[in-house]
Amino acid sequence: MATVIELPIETYASEVEPDWCPGCGDFGVLRALEIAAGRLGIKPEDLMIVSGIGCSSNLPGFIHAYGVHSLHGRAVAVATGIKLANHDLNVVITGGDGDGYGIGLGHFIHAMRRNLDLTYIVMNNQIYGLTTGQASPTTMKEVRTKSTPLGNFELPINPIALALVSGATYVARGFSGENKHLADLFAGAIAHKGFSLVDVFSPCVTYNKINTYEYFRKRNYKLDVESGYDATKVELALQKSFEWGDRIPIGVFYENQQPTYEDQEVALSNGPLVKQKLGLNKETFDELVEEFM
């Protein structure tokens, strides 16, 4: 295996300043992503960041790498196409809870059961920020938002549990207030061969006055230092995924090696599709036409 030459985080510095609100959790996510990419020595040209729509989906514009800022809810699908076309690229999907767990939920689940080698970072602020504060799929019960003035009475999505039952092979949760820990999770996720989800508590300082930095600092604890926790056991992970209240676990819930989609796709066995020769030779073509005779 080639030695990794670490790259400084300036490698990924973009000239464009993020337009997030001061104090937004997404700053911490961007920083942690740059640290993780640098640690893994991923060159900017080999890094592809795909996002959907939302505050957090603006992230590709603020990092020096290739990026696609796709449609609302479609980032996972676009990233799937990119990965299948060129699996030499490190493809990281970044987006929010509305984008991934609301309008894009179907793609999220199916990508996990395919175990594509993709890393999905969800900046979960439990609110629709860009559209100025409506309830999101992860807004907790009874929380009042612009669209739930009497209190939300729907259950929030449990992304960790969903990922575990859908076949994701690296499932983690981080907090943008814990940058070093978050960078470790990202590095683990990107290095992992298979579908990785990192759900990140990334507080919205403008529209969510409940799930604040303070809220998570009080409750978060790390699974990796929890005695008796074994991230290779899916049953334990599932149990932990339901823990919510005074104590909320962060860290790697589950990690497991399974063959990736790319490993199993015959058409990719000769290397990335994008590097294959186009068209058919006469012999193959004649064989194909012969089937119609």
Partner 1 sequence: MEKKRDVTIGIGGAAGDGLDKSGDTIAKTCSRLGLYVSAYNSYQSVIRGGHIWLRVRIAEKKVSSHGDHLNVLIALNQDTIERHAREVEPGGAVIYNSDKLTCDSVLIGNQVLPVPLPVKAITKSFGRLQPIMQNTVALGALLYLLGLDFDMAASVLADTFKHKGEAVVEQNVRVVRAGYDYARDISVPLGYEWDYTRIRRPFITGNEAFALGAVAAGCKFYSAYPMTPASSVLHWMAAHGAKCGVVVKQCEDELAVVNIAIGAGHAGVRAMCGTSGGGFALMTEAIGEAGMIEAPVVIIEVQRGGPSTGIPTKTEQADLNQVFGASQGDYPRVIIAPTDTTDCYYTAVEAHNLAEKYQLPVTIISDLLLSEHPETIEADALRHDVPIERGEIISDWSPEKGQFKRYAFTRSGVSPRALPGTVGAMYVAATDEHDEEGVVISDVFTTPPVRRKIQEKRMRKLDKVLQELTPPKLEGPPDAEVTLIGWGSTKGVIGEAIALLAAQGITANHLQVKYLHPFHAKEVSEMLRGMKRTFCVECNYTGQFARHLRAETGFGVNDLILKYDGEPFEPHHIVEQLRGILEDRPRSTDVTLEEAREMGYHYVRVHLADKVRPGKIEKIDESEYGEPLWQIEMVSRDGGEKRGNLSIGAATGSTYSWQAVKALTADAG
Report the candidate in 80, 79, 74 with the shortest Cα–Cα distance to residue 114: 80
Residues 96-115 contacting partner 1, CB under 8 A? 106-107, 109-110
* 121 binds partner 1, rule: CB under 8 A: no
Instruction: Tell me how far, at minimum, the Cβ of 2 lies from partner 1, in Å.
Output: 17
Binding-site member from 71, 161, 205, 248 for partner 1 (CB under 8 A): 71
* 221 binds partner 1, rule: CB under 8 A: no
Which of the 8 DSSP states describes residue 148? Answer: B
* 273 binds partner 1, rule: CB under 8 A: yes
Instruction: Tell me how far, at minimum, the Cβ of 180 lies from partner 1, in Å.
Output: 26
List phi, psi (to 5°) of 101: -100, -10
Instruction: Tell me how far, at minimum, the Cβ of 25 lies from partner 1, in Å.
Output: 19
Contact 50, 67 (CB under 8 A): yes
Between 149 and 279, CB nearer to partner 1: 279
Binding-site member from 35, 42, 79, 204 for partner 1 (CB under 8 A): 79
Report how far residue 31's alpha carbon sits from residue 35's, in angstroms, rounded to the nearest whole number.
6
Binding-site member from 5, 149, 180, 282 for partner 1 (CB under 8 A): 282
Contact 197, 171 (CB under 8 A): yes
Residues 251-270 contacting partner 1, CB under 8 A? 265-268, 270
Task: Kindly tell me the sign of the dihedral angle through the C-alpha atoms of 164, 183, 207, 72.
Answer: negative
Task: Kindly tell me the sign of the dihedral angle through the C-alpha atoms of 31, 19, 21, 215.
Answer: negative
List phi, psi (to 5°) of 26: -65, -25
For residue 193 the two structure tokens come to 């061969």
Return the residue matching tokens 């996720």: 189
Binding-site member from 65, 122, 127, 185 for partner 1 (CB under 8 A): 65
Binding-site member from 88, 142, 214, 224 for partner 1 (CB under 8 A): 88
Site for partner 1, rule CB under 8 A: 15-16, 19, 43-46, 48, 50, 53, 58, 60-61, 64-71, 73-74, 77-86, 88-89, 106-107, 109-110, 265-268, 270, 273-274, 276, 278-282, 284-286, 288-289, 292-293
